[in-house]
């Protein structure tokens, strides 16, 4: 075993999830059921909750416009199969225990141990009618089933399905309830992109921890460990497609990797290294959550940042490499992630203090094979990929409705609970009362404007205040008043990120209470945080999840097209979503608006 590593890296081959290729409209059944899954050859099998018995669940592959009905049969038996531990924060040999393998140590969460398998499935990124969108309160109990309809009438993209149950999604997704869903269309075929094995490979990346027995041996039991002050679980071991630090043999040709960060809370910044050097010139990014870009992009200089639920469609050309060459995919992102950069040349250095004791993600090993003769697409940086959407500009959106949302951390008033994270919906207030958020903005020609907002909703169960009209664009302004990065996910139609701007945030003493928010946010005034607040080239396409860093205001252009109904938007750090960083919105047909 490699020294200090709890499990030997790069020994298990990367598994490919079972494929379920659907070519005609049909009804399929997927069973949510308890199973055993082996995360590493040297680990005992782990009890898990699964879709159809595997971690990850089967990959659904479907052509655009082919509708699919899924009967989700809940056969989850027994209680939550993972160990949930809230251990006091302390260090052993200078390493925060929260992020070490095993050592559940502290108090086990008895309520979690008694959780039966309530579930509701959400197709993340799917253009789905509200009644099939996996509303977090519409649960099935074990023994019940739900029938959901997925039109799949949307751009080709990598979607994923996962549990979305109110309050405890962090446990059931961690426990195994996630799978991939690929929509394909003609444009991808025209480009000659690889479809299916061996040259198209999904990479579902998830951090995991395992419990240990009294002798320190890992038992295989999944361990969700937090400390009392920190709500997020940042697990130390990386799995890809359900295996710890796997290895993939690649032939000397171009591969298409469909990458998803399916972790609860951890953000990855992926760096590909060969012989200890950054090796990014062979990578072209062709798409993100909403499918193909207008034109292909190079990886950002620091590496590929993917927060929870973000996806990347990558072409990686290995054709110049001799058999025996090895490349390693590494993570350089500290946890909790706050947008701070890192030199990719330092990739591979452990950072226990940044809750990154093992930076390895997976290894790629070049082998001989027929790949050298395979017809692989030649797509360079800047190649035209899609023309079915235009990049939106602020000018083209002049005068549209703007809705503002503050991302807020509320300290527990008793001090013995972790903070609550909330999304506070704001409404413009002409008054000058004390409990307002003041946003000072500067437009393109330098003119300053000031808007004041009062807080109109703070909790998930508060009254709906967002009623977007179908077909009408809006700008949603995300104002981060916290010191962490939040990946904000909007259900239904993909959006465009208009811009990400630095802001100086001032919160007076006592400015944040359960119902009120007082702060001054000056957009454009650069805070001294050393973070790059600019959008990366790979954030200019269609997205369904956007990172909002500290000291930042992010404007997204949303437009809901097809389905009227009640949907959700939320932080995709599952521990935040579960602790109320989630809100409803209702999309309305224009014809009904006069009657509302």
Cβ-based nearer residue to Cu ion, 227 or 484 = 484
Compute the least distance from the CB of residue 575 to Cu ion, in Å.
Answer: 8
User: Token pair 């081959």 is at which residue?
Assistant: 13
321-359 burial by CB neighbour count: b if 16+ within 10 A, else e? Answer: beeebebbbbbbbbbbbbbebbebeebeeebbebbbbbb
Q: State the sign of the Cα–Cα–Cα–Cα dihedral 485, 494, 557, 384.
A: positive
Q: Where are the alpha helices (DSSP H) in 17-125?
A: 110-113
Instruction: Report d(CA 178, CA 518) in Å as an integer.
Output: 39
* Coil, helix or strand at residue 170: helix
Cβ-based nearer residue to Cu ion, 128 or 551 = 551
Compute the least distance from the CB of residue 297 to Cu ion, in Å.
Answer: 26
Largest CA distance in the chain: 71
What is the β-pairing status of strands 218-226 and 83-86? parallel
Phi and psi for 113 in degrees, rounded to 5? -65, -20
Binding of Cu ion at residue 84 (CB under 5 A)? no
Cβ-based nearer residue to Cu ion, 316 or 571 = 571
Best CA proximity match to 258, nearest among 194, 207, 317, 190: 194
Cβ-based nearer residue to Cu ion, 37 or 576 = 576
Range in contact with Cu ion (rule: CB under 5 A) among 81-89, 164-172, 272-280, 570-578: 570-578
Binding of Cu ion at residue 280 (CB under 5 A)? no
Binding of Cu ion at residue 571 (CB under 5 A)? yes
Cβ-based nearer residue to Cu ion, 250 or 307 = 307
Which residues from 430-489 bind Cu ion, rule CB under 5 A? 486
If phi over 0 gives left and psi between -120 and 50 gives alpha, with beta otherwise, what is residue 291? left
Best CA proximity match to 104, nearest among 267, 224, 261, 241: 224
What mask, x for binding Cu ion by CB under 5 A, covers residues 217 to 256?
A: ----------------------------------------
How many residues bind to Cu ion according to rule CB under 5 A?
4
Which residues from 573-592 bind Cu ion, rule CB under 5 A? 573, 576
Cβ-contact 332, 344 below 8 angstroms: yes
Compute the least distance from the CB of residue 482 to Cu ion, in Å.
Answer: 8
Compute the least distance from the CB of residue 335 to Cu ion, in Å.
Answer: 13
Range in contact with Cu ion (rule: CB under 5 A) among 331-339, 369-377, 517-525, 564-572: 564-572
User: Token pair 């996996």 is at which residue?
Assistant: 134
Cβ-based nearer residue to Cu ion, 46 or 308 = 308
Compute the least distance from the CB of residue 576 to Cu ion, in Å.
Answer: 3
Read off the tokens for 25: 């409209």
Binding of Cu ion at residue 312 (CB under 5 A)? no
Q: Which residues bind Cu ion (CB under 5 A)?
A: 486, 571, 573, 576
């Amino acid at each position: 075993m490699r020294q200090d590593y709890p499990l030997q890296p790069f020994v298990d081959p990367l598994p490919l999830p079972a494929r379920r290729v659907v070519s005609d409209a049909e009804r399929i059944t997927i069973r949510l059921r308890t199973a055993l899954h082996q995360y590493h050859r040297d680990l005992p099998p782990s009890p898990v909750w699964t879709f159809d018995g595997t971690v990850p669940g089967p990959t659904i592959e479907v052509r655009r416009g082919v509708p699919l009905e899924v009967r989700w049969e809940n056969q989850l038996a027994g209680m939550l199969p993972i160990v949930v531990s809230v251990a006091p924060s302390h260090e052993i040999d200078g390493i925060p225990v929260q992020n070490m393998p095993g050592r559940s140590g502290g108090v086990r969460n008895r309520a979690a141990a008694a959780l039966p398998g309530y579930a509701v499935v959400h197709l993340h990124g799917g253009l789905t009618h509200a009644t099939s969108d996996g509303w977090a309160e519409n649960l099935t109990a074990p023994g019940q089933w739900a029938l959901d309809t997925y039109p799949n009438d949307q751009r080709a993209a990598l979607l994923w399905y996962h549990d979305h149950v109110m309050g405890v999604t962090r446990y059931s997704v961690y426990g195994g309830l996630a799978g991939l869903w690929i929509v394909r269309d003609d444009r991808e075929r025209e480009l000659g992109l690889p479809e299916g094995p061996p040259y198209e490979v999904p990479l579902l990346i998830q951090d995991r921890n395992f419990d240990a027995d009294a002798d320190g041996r890992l038992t295989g039991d999944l361990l969700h460990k937090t400390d009392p002050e920190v709500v997020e679980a940042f697990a130390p071991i990386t799995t890809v497609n359900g295996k710890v630090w796997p290895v993939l043999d690649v032939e000397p040709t171009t591969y298409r990797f469909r990458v998803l960060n399916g972790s609860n809370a951890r953000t990855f910044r992926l760096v590909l290294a060969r012989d200890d050097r950054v090796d990014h010139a062979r990578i072209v990014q062709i798409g993100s959550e909403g499918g193909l870009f207008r034109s292909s992009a190079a990886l950002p200089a620091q590496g590929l940042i993917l927060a929870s639920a973000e996806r990347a469609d990558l072409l990686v050309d290995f054709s110049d490499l001799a058999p025996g060459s090895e490349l390693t995919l590494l993570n350089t992102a500290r946890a909790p992630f706050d947008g701070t950069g890192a030199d990719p040349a330092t990739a591979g250095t452990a950072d226990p203090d940044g809750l990154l004791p093992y930076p390895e993600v997976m290894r790629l090993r070049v082998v001989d094979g027929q790949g050298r003769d395979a017809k692989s697409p030649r797509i360079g940086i800047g190649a035209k990929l899609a023309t079915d959407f235009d990049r939106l500009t602020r000018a083209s959106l002049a005068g549209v409705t703007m809705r503002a949302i503050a991302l807020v951390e509320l300290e527990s008033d008793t001090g013995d609970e972790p903070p609550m994270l909330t999304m506070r919906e704001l409404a413009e207030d002409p008054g000058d009362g004390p409990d307002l958020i003041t946003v000072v903005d500067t437009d393109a020609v330098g003119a300053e404007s000031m808007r004041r907002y009062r807080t109109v909703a703070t909790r998930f169960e508060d009254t709906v205040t967002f009623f977007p009209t179908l077909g009408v664009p809006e700008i949603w302004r995300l104002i981060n008043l916290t010191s962490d990065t939040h990946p904000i996910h909007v259900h239904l139609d993909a959006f465009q990120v208009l811009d990400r701007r630095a802001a100086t945030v001032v919160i007076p003493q006592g400015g944040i209470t359960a119902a009120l928010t007082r702060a001054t946010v000056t957009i454009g005034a650069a805070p001294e945080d050393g973070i790059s607040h600019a959008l990366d080239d790979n954030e200019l396409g269609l997205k369904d999840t956007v990172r909002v860093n500290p000291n930042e205001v992010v404007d997204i252009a949303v437009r809901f097209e097809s389905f009227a109904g009640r949907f959700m938007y939320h932080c995709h750090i599952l521990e935040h979503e579960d602790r109320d960083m989630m809100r409803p919105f209702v999309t309305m047909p224009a014809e009904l608006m006069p009657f509302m």
